[in-house]
């Protein structure tokens, strides 16, 4: 009997050892473990039980080298930075092949610059952002016009106090310098510029929640509710105190909304509690002032709200009808689509743009295409542009894309209504031609402000001649010939030049994006192009960092 007891005891110990080996020891348990904590009463939102760790915007800073300056750069460089740049140039094989790194830095065709920007909050890997570039104040650089930044590293601003200080690289920056020449920038000068979409984020933002009162049961309940609403493995409880969140594919363009929905997501102890919460939110949407919050809370709960929410579509309050319709459409129900369509077509409605955006974001392809195409003909430019943007994201055939060198793109939009030339000055550098094809009139003569670029087409000419002065010599480059199509004119100005001597075959003169859009503005204003010229907002890259960097130089 004693021998049998010893055998069973040995067998139990061996089995326990095997289980620990296969599944991990008790110290490594996760929120999947059962019975670890006593159940607690929930009936609350996720945001009341846990909060997100900070994943906000990250200010970054770096030091780099701008080339292609044609004598407007300088040879000055702080010794500590020179050592860093020499090492970087050697590693990356930058500059002219065979030219020593110090010779590149010493050249008057290059300039040492400081680069800074802000990585957006909740950034995805590969996300792009604008950066600001400024020549060192202690150097003799006179202009960054026409320059291009060689790839440089950007590191957290608060950790970069010395040129060679070790810190994690958060992003890279590179690209052509943009100096605004449209007259709309308040601080435009030649030694400070921007690179539109020049920063590239290297890592995806890590999104994690911390429980207010760590508890395996609560962590598991939160994880299960998030996954039930948004999909399997979106939330993973890594401990009783923390939950990792992955942004689902269908919410990657709506990340801020997704995280807000998580905080508002209601965890009910039973079906009755959830039903009572839905009733309460529907009543609040009908009566409270903060309809956006109630709409988002209902959206977070999901499809169980559709039946009760549909009752608000007959409300006498147009705001109630709008928010109920938008929420339903977001949940996949088209019961309120006609109501949203009515708002979108009402030019006097303050909810018009919100309705267009809702349909463009959530309606199916056929329902969205008809309304968005119709809206493209609107003389309300905000509505026109919003419709274009949604159609572009959907790959609509009314929009074609032409890439100009490696600097920017031209979007040709086929639509009725007045013709508009729109240019961006932040984000993706882009010229959008609404009402394409757009043509220039005859008898044209326009010069850039610095007199270096000339567009000429005397009366009776069949083509436009585009000329550019040589950057270092007192002569004109061989001209490029363009048709009267605005798209062809842009190509003649900014496409990459070829070595072909036949002026009818050469691509372009590599004119910078900033100069090209400034010339288009002149052509529209003097009547050479019958189109309205519209500019996007000027980039604010580096605005929140200027005070900090000024004190650290």
Token output for 323: 């928010």
Check residue 499 and give its pLDDT. 62
Kindly state whether residues 70 and 111 are assigned to the same domain. Answer: yes
Kindly state whether residues 191 and 138 are assigned to the same domain. Answer: yes
How does residue 22 score in pLDDT terms, banded at 50, 70 and 90? very low
Query: Does 149 reside within a domain?
Result: yes
Q: Flag whether pLDDT at 41 surpasses 90.
A: no
Q: Report the distance separating Cα 388 and Cα 413, nearest Å.
A: 8
Check residue 10 and give its pLDDT. 35
Check residue 409 and give its pLDDT. 96
Check residue 502 and give its pLDDT. 47
Token output for 483: 């048709």
Q: Report the distance separating Cα 13 and Cα 19, nearest Å.
A: 10
Check residue 138 and give its pLDDT. 82
Kindly state whether residues 539 and 401 are assigned to the same domain. Answer: yes
Q: Report the distance separating Cα 179 and Cα 189, nearest Å.
A: 7
Query: Does 98 reside within a domain?
Result: yes
Q: Report the distance separating Cα 165 and Cα 359, nearest Å.
A: 49
Q: Flag whether pLDDT at 470 surpasses 90.
A: no
| Cα 143-77-113 angle, rounded to 5 deg | 45
Kindly state whether residues 154 and 46 are assigned to the same domain. Answer: no
Give the C-alpha distances (Å, rounded to integers) separating 409 from 102, 126, 266, 424: 35, 19, 45, 11
Kindly state whether residues 94 and 236 are assigned to the same domain. Answer: no
Section 220-242 average pLDDT: 96
Kindly state whether residues 200 and 127 are assigned to the same domain. Answer: yes
CA nearest to 427, candidates 127, 65, 114, 116: 127
Q: Burial level of 357, CB count in 10 A (0-12/13-18/19+)?
A: middle
Token output for 232: 């399997």
Kindly state whether residues 81 and 20 are assigned to the same domain. Answer: no
Section 318-327 average pLDDT: 97
Check residue 83 and give its pLDDT. 87
* 3-state DSSP assignment of residue 302: coil
How does residue 33 score in pLDDT terms, banded at 50, 70 and 90? very low
Task: Point out which residues pair with 155 in neighbouring strands.
Answer: 61
Section 8-32 average pLDDT: 35
Q: Flag whether pLDDT at 548 surpasses 80.
A: no
Q: Report the distance separating Cα 237 and Cα 249, nearest Å.
A: 20
Place of tokens 């300088």: 74
Domain that holds residue 469: 397-553
Query: Does 392 reside within a domain?
Result: no
Kindly state whether residues 508 and 521 are assigned to the same domain. Answer: yes
Kindly state whether residues 548 and 426 are assigned to the same domain. Answer: yes
Final residue of a structural domain among 205, 235, 254: 205
Query: Does 25 reside within a domain?
Result: yes
pLDDT tens for 152-202 read 999 988 765 556 557 889 999 999 999 999 875 555 579 999 999 999 999
Q: Flag whether pLDDT at 11 surpasses 80.
A: no
Give the C-alpha distances (Å, rounded to integers) separating 141 from 66, 70, 184, 547: 11, 11, 24, 22
Kindly state whether residues 489 and 546 are assigned to the same domain. Answer: yes
Query: Does 536 reside within a domain?
Result: yes
Kindly state whether residues 172 and 105 are assigned to the same domain. Answer: yes
Check residue 493 and give its pLDDT. 95
Q: Does 27 or 39 have the greater pLDDT score?
A: 39
Final residue of a structural domain among 159, 174, 205: 205
Residue 394 contacts residue 401 (beta carbons within 8 Å) = no
Q: Report the distance separating Cα 135 and Cα 143, nearest Å.
A: 8
pLDDT tens for 63-105 read 999 999 989 999 999 888 888 888 888 877 665 556 888 999 9
Average pLDDT of every residue of the chain: 87
Residue/partner pairs of 410-414 with CB below 8 Å, 24 or more apart: 410/487, 410/490, 412/436, 412/437, 412/487, 413/376, 413/388
Final residue of a structural domain among 205, 230, 253: 205
How does residue 23 score in pLDDT terms, banded at 50, 70 and 90? very low
Query: Does 123 reside within a domain?
Result: yes
Residue 126 contacts residue 203 (beta carbons within 8 Å) = no
pLDDT tens for 124-155 read 999 999 999 999 888 899 999 999 999 999 99
Kindly state whether residues 101 and 158 are assigned to the same domain. Answer: yes
Check residue 544 and give its pLDDT. 61
Check residue 78 and give its pLDDT. 87
Our separate counts of H helices and E strands in the chain read 17, 21
Number of domains forming the structure of the chain:
4
Query: Does 297 reside within a domain?
Result: no
């Amino acid at each position: 009997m004693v021998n049998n007891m010893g055998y069973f005891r040995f067998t139990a110990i061996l089995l326990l050892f095997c289980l620990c080996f296969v599944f991990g020891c008790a110290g490594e348990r996760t929120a999947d473990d059962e019975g670890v904590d006593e159940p607690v009463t929930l009936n609350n939102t996720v945001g009341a039980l846990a909060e997100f760790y900070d994943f906000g915007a990250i200010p970054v800073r770096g030091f780099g080298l701008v080339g292609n300056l044609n004598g407007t750069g300088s040879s000055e460089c702080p010794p500590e930075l020179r050592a860093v740049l020499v090492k970087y140039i050697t590693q990356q094989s930058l500059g002219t092949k065979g030219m020593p790194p110090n010779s590149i830095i010493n050249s008057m065709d290059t300039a040492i610059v400081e680069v800074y920007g802000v990585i957006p909050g909740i950034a995805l890997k590969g996300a792009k952002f604008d950066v600001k570039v400024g020549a060192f104040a202690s150097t003799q650089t006179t202009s960054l016009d026409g320059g291009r930044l060689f790839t440089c590293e950007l590191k957290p601003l608060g950790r970069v106090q010395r040129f060679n200080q070790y810190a994690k690289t958060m992003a890279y920056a590179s690209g052509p310098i943009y100096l605004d020449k449209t007259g709309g920038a308040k601080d435009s000068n030649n030694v400070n510029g921007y690179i539109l979409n020049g920063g590239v984020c290297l890592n995806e933002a890590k999104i994690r929640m911390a429980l207010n009162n760590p508890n395996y049961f609560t962590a598991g309940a939160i994880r299960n509710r998030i996954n039930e609403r948004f999909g399997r493995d979106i939330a993973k409880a890594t401990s009783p105190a923390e939950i990792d969140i992955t942004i689902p594919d269908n919410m990657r363009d709506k990340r801020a909304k997704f995280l807000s929905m998580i905080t508002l997501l209601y965890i009910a102890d039973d079906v009755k509690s959830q039903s009572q919460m839905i009733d309460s939110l529907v009543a609040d949407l009908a009566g409270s002032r903060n309809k956006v919050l109630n709409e988002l809370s209902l959206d977070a709960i999901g499809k169980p709200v559709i039946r009760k929410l549909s009752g608000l579509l007959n409300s006498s309050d147009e705001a109630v009808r709008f928010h109920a319709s938008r929420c339903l459409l977001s949940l996949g129900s088209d019961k309120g689509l006609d109501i949203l369509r009515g708002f979108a077509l009402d030019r006097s409605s303050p909810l018009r743009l919100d309705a267009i955006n809702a349909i463009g974001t959530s309606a199916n392809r056929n329902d969205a295409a008809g309304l968005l195409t119709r809206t493209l003909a609107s003389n309300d430019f905000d509505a026109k542009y919003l419709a274009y943007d949604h159609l572009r994201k959907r790959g609509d055939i009314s929009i074609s894309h032409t890439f100009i060198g490696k600097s920017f793109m031209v979007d040709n939009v086929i639509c009725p209504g007045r013709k508009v030339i729109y240019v961006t000055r932040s984000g993706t550098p882009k010229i959008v031609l609404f009402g394409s094809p757009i043509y220039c009139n005859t008898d044209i003569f326009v010069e850039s402000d610095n007199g270096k670029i000339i567009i000429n087409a005397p009366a009776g000419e069949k083509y436009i001649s585009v000329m550019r002065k040589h950057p270092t010599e007192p002569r004109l480059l061989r001209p490029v010939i363009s048709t009267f199509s605005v798209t062809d004119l842009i190509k003649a100005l900014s496409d990459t030049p070829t070595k072909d001597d036949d002026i009818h075959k050469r691509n372009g003169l590599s004119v910078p994006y900033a100069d090209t859009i400034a010339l288009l503005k002149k052509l529209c204003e003097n009547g050479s192009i019958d189109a309205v010229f519209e500019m996007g907002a000027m980039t604010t890259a580096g605005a929140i960092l200027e005070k900090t960097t000024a004190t650290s130089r």
